[in-house]
Structure 1
Amino acid sequence: MDREPGLSVRLKLTLSYAGFLMVAGVMLLAVVWLFLLRYVPEELYTPPASTGPPSWPGPLFVPDRSDLLEAFVPKAAAMLAFLLMFSLVGGWVLAGSMLAPLTRITNATRLTANGSLSHRIQLEGRQDEFRELADAFDTMLARLEAHDAEQQRFAANASHELRTPLAIMQTLLDVARNDLNRDTGELVDRLHLINTRAIDLTEALLLLSRANQGSFAREHVDLSLAAEEATETLLPLAEKHGVTIETAGDQAPTVGSHALLLQLTTNLVHNAIVHNLPEQGTVWVTTSAHSTAVVLTVENTGQKLAPRMASTLVEPFQRGTGRTRTDHAGVGLGLAIVKSIAQAHDGTLTLTPRPGGGLRVTVRLPAASPQ
């Protein structure tokens, strides 16, 4: 936005300091002047002549108001002139000292506008309004830098994941074109499988984008019903893997998108089934309600995970070593989508390795107010 040039804040503060000091000086001089006028007559008073011996050694001089005005005004004017110069210089220096932190914040803002996110203000000194602003700005820069790095990794990983099936399909088509006698049935089956994976990845990316935008209609949703629906849907998959699903809990009313919360629950249960023991594994799905929050917990048996590894599983396209199976492995966005949906609903996602192996995932969402 183009604006007309104006006075700097430093000059405005200087003039304000000088004006205030001048007003205070004029008021002080006015008080002194009024105080002196009480004891000075308007005209010179001459006592009558006395025949006796004089009581004073010499003639007595009593000034009137004109004499006081002649003596007071020039000195008052000189004092006001000195006070004006002193207030301007002192106000300029004082305003510069007070605005120095703001200058550093402005320079940091310009660097940020030019795309630099690695710098920090790191304002020294004790806590005050400027330092609170600088600390808040540094915190914002740190989050922006982390978010930018995460987006760059996400874009690189998404490009790689999308390029892989396309490259495989291109290779299969080249082979089929060069070998016209090859059986097309096997080729079509492999192309169909790879194309399905590409479609699943694209839909997962669209769902993740929708969750990050937070643009969805909100309604009352019972998280326990969503958990039951997801469990029933994935029951055939659990039976195929030899996994037992146990559900328990109370009603967990919250406010949000039923479709997204169902997708959140489905992803968690699917993840718990796929990344489980080779046989005789178990998945526990529980819900609970508290005064201000509802909690969904999904636990599964499986291999032991380090706490550090568990914290990285929510990043897009991250798969724990030894957790990926050859079938129903997904596209590496399951927990990333869960995290985005939880954050879009003002909730939190916590991943904790189980001592005996496997993972415990806890989703905490705000509770719906009673209707």
Structure 2
Amino acid sequence: MTEPAQGGVQERGDVVSGPDAPENHGGDSARAPQMLPAPAAGAAQVHGQHGQHGQHGQHGQHGQVPPPPSGPPAWDGPPPVTANPARRRLLDEIKAMSNRVSIRWRLTLTYAALVFVAGVFLLMLMYVLAGQAIDAAWPGNILVPNINLPQSTEDTIKEYYLQTLADAIATARGELLRRSLPALLGVAILALMIGYLVADRALRPIKKMTATARKLSETSLAHERIDLTGPDDELKELADTFDAMLTRLNAAFDAQRRFVDNASHELRTPLAINRTVLEVALADPEASEDLKVLGRTLLGTTARNERLIEGLLLLARSDRELSVRKPVDIQEVAKTAIEQLTAFAAEEEIAVEYDLHPAPVTGDPVLLERCVSNLIENGIKHNMGPTGKVWVRTGIVGGGAVVQIANTGPHVPAYEVDSLFEPFRRLNADRVQSAKGAGLGLSIVRAIVRAHDGSVSAVPRDGGGLVMTVRLSVTGGTTGATQSAR
């Protein structure tokens, strides 16, 4: 690949899609980052300093020097006993496993355990009561027929009958236990099944609240509410409280959006009038040079104000729920954005390289085009001048449609990356750089991506600059990697 002398747009000749794409573009020193997940930032180590404090004694008599300390130091008791590491790991694993069990299964196991314990208690009670009933019905003696037998033979017969009866009683009680244990096991299994159904029914309102909250978190607080029906219990009170909170939040956000809309619309009219007056004044051939310099300065200020207001309008629009959803290919969106920014890249002497592959999604075509355009424009603006580069990639990565824009540029501290997505935030707070933008570009990108249920992330690039990655849900089938856009 040949790099242009004065910036512009470049395309790759050899196409490699995904993580195996080469980083060296035609021998250039700058390397295009791979479309891979960003590594986690390393943890900082903090070293503490321990001060040493001396102790000063007070002496009752003046002029006496206390003798040097002698003898062993004071004993503060045995060292603390440390827990067995293996035992602690086992306890931690058991605790982590218990935390992973859902509430439904906790309630189910609790119900089954209670029924099982109650069954065991009832079985033992029946065993004891059966023994007491047999003992109460025991005649106390055995009548032997009036037959003249030796005393030893009579005692032997009584002992035989007593032993036979005792064995029969023991056999009956053992049979009671043997037949009761399977019944107890069946009752425990039945209790487990019934407990699962009861827990599922009891937690059904909570599942409904969770599903509604998740749906609302993915949109812009639509007018959907939980609207839980049923008895006036604690769960219904919780759902009604949640609905009331959503209503108040929705009203507050609507008021904020209306204010932004109204303020932006009201400000556009006087700015348009000012721009027209200045253009007419500059077109006057009799205007002095000082007037023309002042007019051009005011025109630049007016243009920046118009961009600011346009950004506020777009930000207010992208924060709302999408009203238009159409099939869109991010590859075509990126290609259009690159073509529109070719002149701007040449003016800034920035080389734009791209590797575009199909990435079909569903969304608002206008907002998605503005999202990609803002990312590319941001990469061109905040760059290194004649030696700067911007890399644009689109495709399917990990089952999602991904557009990635990386650029050379100044070093960005990792702790400041998240703040760049806030409105009116720039890496350099110097107002001299305000001509580069109003500080709304990345805020608009984040709002558009959130409206499309996607995610946007930024990580510092090795050697300076940023790697911006937008991930959206894929719709339809894909044909795999294709050649770079021509």
Q: TM-score, normalised by structure 2?
A: 0.40
Corresponding residue for residue 403 of structure 2: 296
Q: Specify whether residues 291 and 309 from structure 1 end up closer, same or farther in structure 2 by C-alpha distance, changes over 3 A only.
A: closer
- Aligned partner of 1:217: which letter? V
Residues 222-252 of structure 1: per-residue CA shift (max 9 Å, x gap): 1011111111111122122221111113100
Corresponding residue for residue 308 of structure 2: 201
Contact 1:348-1:364 at 8 Å conserved across structures: yes
Q: Specify whether residues 222 and 335 from structure 1 end up closer, same or farther in structure 2 by C-alpha distance, changes over 3 A only.
A: same
Equivalents in 2 of 1:243, 1:324: separation in Å?
A: 23
Q: Specify whether residues 327 and 242 from structure 1 end up closer, same or farther in structure 2 by C-alpha distance, changes over 3 A only.
A: farther
Does residue 265 of the first structure (1) align with residue 265 of the second (2)? no
Equivalents in 2 of 1:181, 1:243: separation in Å?
A: 37
Q: Specify whether residues 140 and 370 from structure 1 end up closer, same or farther in structure 2 by C-alpha distance, changes over 3 A only.
A: farther
The CA deviation at 1:191 is: 1.8
The CA deviation at 1:351 is: 1.0
Q: Percent identity?
A: 31
Q: Secondary structure at the match of 2:362?
A: strand
The CA deviation at 1:279 is: 2.6
Contact 1:317-1:333 at 8 Å conserved across structures: yes
Paired residue for 2:354, among 206, 226, 247? 247
Paired residue for 2:470, among 345, 363, 368? 363
Paired residue for 2:324, among 209, 214, 217? 217
The CA deviation at 1:326 is: 4.4
Residues 309-337 of structure 1: per-residue CA shift (max 9 Å, x gap): 11100000000028987485011100000
Q: Structure 2: where are the runs of 5+ without partners? A: 1-234, 260-286, 479-486
Does residue 238 of the first structure (1) align with residue 345 of the second (2)? yes
Q: Specify whether residues 236 and 347 from structure 1 end up closer, same or farther in structure 2 by C-alpha distance, changes over 3 A only.
A: same
- Aligned partner of 2:325: which letter? R
Contact 2:304-2:435 at 8 Å conserved across structures: no
Does residue 227 of the first structure (1) align with residue 334 of the second (2)? yes
Q: Secondary structure at the match of 2:338?
A: helix
- Pick 1 or 2: higher relative contact order, CA cutoff 8 A, min separation 6: 2
Q: Specify whether residues 308 and 131 from structure 1 end up closer, same or farther in structure 2 by C-alpha distance, changes over 3 A only.
A: farther
Corresponding residue for residue 449 of structure 2: 342
Equivalents in 2 of 1:324, 1:299: separation in Å?
A: 25
Equivalents in 2 of 1:354, 1:136: separation in Å?
A: 44
Structure 1 stretch displaced more, 239-248 or 305-314? 239-248
Q: CA RMSD in A?
A: 4.3
The CA deviation at 1:141 is: 11
Q: Structure 1: where are the runs of 5+ without partners? A: 1-127, 153-179
Q: Specify whether residues 257 and 365 from structure 1 end up closer, same or farther in structure 2 by C-alpha distance, changes over 3 A only.
A: same
The CA deviation at 1:192 is: 1.4
Equivalents in 1 of 2:250, 2:322: separation in Å?
A: 22
The CA deviation at 1:138 is: 10
